[in-house]
């Protein structure tokens, strides 16, 4: 008893002394801004709510921005940087050009957060992570504690954005590979693809699927062809899910009926190893939500800059 007590006292002391020196500088934490600016998170929430009440789709666009940030050299707000003489903006990469949106909303949030904090202490990378969570909540989805303390990059890579953001034309094995490259497994792939329960896609992203593929409900294909002709109309929009302003499980139940809009969506339910999970989520929104929240935290942990790495940008569009 006594020796056990001493032992645990010693190991507790050891932990207390040993852990923070590394953890404080390299790990994210949910209470990162509690002392330095307790008004930061409520300010982000207010701004996201205002933007989404103006346009429901903005919630989807903000969620996607965080994803496209994290998949390119980690969650470091590199996607927000405009081009300079030193690098091309990730905004110009194939998956983002004329597609990624919400940059003005992020600018507004940054302005308001810096105002309530009285100084620029909240990074653009953290704003993206919190705005993504708040968007999901406003659209009726789950909530989670966002891990914070990311810092902002001083550079961006259009080349890496073209390489590392998955394409809608990918098959299941390439999708799994793409996620694995970022430390995310098949469960993360399926849960996070559930992000397509909100928002829109442009005709060019699903044309081949609705005209050429066979694992698609013919009535659904027919309906989608109306606003997506064989030629032209590249930027015409279709909802990714029939209830695309609500964070529900319909995305998954539609996959069971071969009504996935993107090729990559239907790949998740096409006779492979991820079928069973799609089925499970389709009838259990709580299971989907729980896994989505968990996977968002995991995605938000991809290679963050912390401690003295990077910087807290004054303007999300350019390095200080």
Catalytic entry in 66, 68, 182, 263: 68
Q: Side-chain half-sphere of 55: how many Cα atoms within 13 Å?
A: 10
Looking up tokens 């989520």 gives 281
**Which residues from 132-191 bind ligand HEM, rule CB under 6 A?**
166-168, 175
Check if 68 is active-site: yes
Instruction: Please identify which residue in 49, 107, 174, 186 interacts with ligand NAG, judged by CB under 6 A.
Output: 174
| Number of residues this chain uses to bind ligand HEM (CB under 6 A) | 25
**What is the CB neighbour count within 10 angstroms for residue 289?**
21
Q: Strand runs (DSSP E) across the chain, as ranges?
A: 200-202, 237-239
283 binds ligand NAG (CB under 6 A): no
Write phi, then psi, for 305 (nearest 5 degrees): -85, 135
Q: Which residues contact 306 (CB under 8 A, 6 or more apart)?
A: 25, 26, 27, 28, 149, 150, 151
Q: Write out 93-124 in H/E/C secondary structure.
A: CCCCCCCCCCHHHHHHHHHHHHHHHCCCCCCH
Residue 207, contacted partner among ligand HEM, ligand NAG, none, CB below 5-8 A by kind: ligand NAG
What SS3 class is residue 140?
coil
112-120, 127-135, 168-176, 280-288 -> range binding ligand NAG (CB under 6 A)? 168-176
Here the tokens at position 93 are: 């990469």
Here the tokens at position 270 are: 């096409």
Is position 166 annotated in a ligand binding site?
yes
**Which residues from 209-248 bind ligand NAG, rule CB under 6 A?**
211-212, 230
Instruction: Please identify which residue in 41, 138, 205, 245 interacts with ligand HEM, judged by CB under 6 A.
Output: 205
| Number of residues this chain uses to bind ligand NAG (CB under 6 A) | 11
Residue 171, contacted partner among ligand NAG, ligand HEM, none, CB below 5-8 A by kind: ligand NAG
Here the tokens at position 286 are: 């709580």
Binding-site positions for heme b: 196
Residue numbers at the binding site for ligand HEM (CB under 6 A): 57, 60-61, 63-64, 67, 99, 101, 166-168, 175, 192-193, 195-196, 198-202, 205, 240, 262, 264
Residue numbers at the binding site for ligand NAG (CB under 6 A): 92, 97-98, 171, 173-174, 207-208, 211-212, 230
Binding-site positions for substrate: 166
List, by residue number, the catalytic residues: 68
């Amino acid at each position: 008893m006594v020796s056990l007590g001493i032992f645990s006292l010693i190991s507790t002391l050891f932990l207390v002394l040993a852990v923070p020196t590394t953890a404080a500088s390299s790990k994210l934490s949910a209470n990162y801004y509690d002392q330095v600016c307790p008004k930061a998170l409520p300010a982000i929430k207010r701004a996201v709510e205002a933007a989404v009440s103006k346009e429901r789709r903005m919630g989807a666009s903000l969620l996607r921005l965080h994803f496209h940030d994290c998949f390119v050299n980690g969650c470091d707000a590199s996607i927000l940087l405009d081009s300079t003489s030193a690098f091309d903006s990730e905004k110009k990469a194939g998956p983002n050009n004329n597609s990624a949106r919400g940059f003005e909303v992020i600018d507004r949030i940054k302005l308001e957060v810096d105002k309530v904090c009285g100084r620029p202490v909240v990074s653009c990378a953290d704003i993206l992570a919190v705005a993504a969570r708040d968007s999901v909540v406003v659209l009726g989805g789950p909530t989670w504690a966002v891990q914070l303390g990311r810092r902002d990059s001083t550079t961006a890579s259009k080349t890496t954005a073209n390489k590392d953001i998955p394409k809608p034309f990918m098959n299941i094995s390439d999708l799994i590979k793409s996620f694995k490259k970022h430390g995310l497994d098949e469960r993360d792939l399926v849960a996070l693809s559930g992000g397509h329960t909100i928002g829109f896609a442009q005709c060019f992203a699903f044309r081949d699927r609705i005209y050429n593929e066979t694992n698609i409900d013919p009535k659904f294909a027919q309906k989608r062809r109306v606003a997506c002709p064989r030629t032209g109309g590249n930027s015409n929009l279709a909802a990714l899910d029939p209830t695309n302003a609500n964070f529900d499980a319909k995305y998954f139940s539609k996959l069971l009926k071969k009504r996935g809009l993107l090729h990559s969506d239907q790949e998740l339910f096409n006779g492979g190893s991820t079928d069973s999970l799609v089925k499970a989520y389709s009838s259990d929104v709580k299971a989907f939500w729980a896994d989505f929240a968990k996977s968002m935290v995991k995605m938000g942990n991809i290679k963050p800059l912390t401690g003295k790495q990077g910087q807290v940008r004054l303007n999300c569009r350019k390095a200080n």
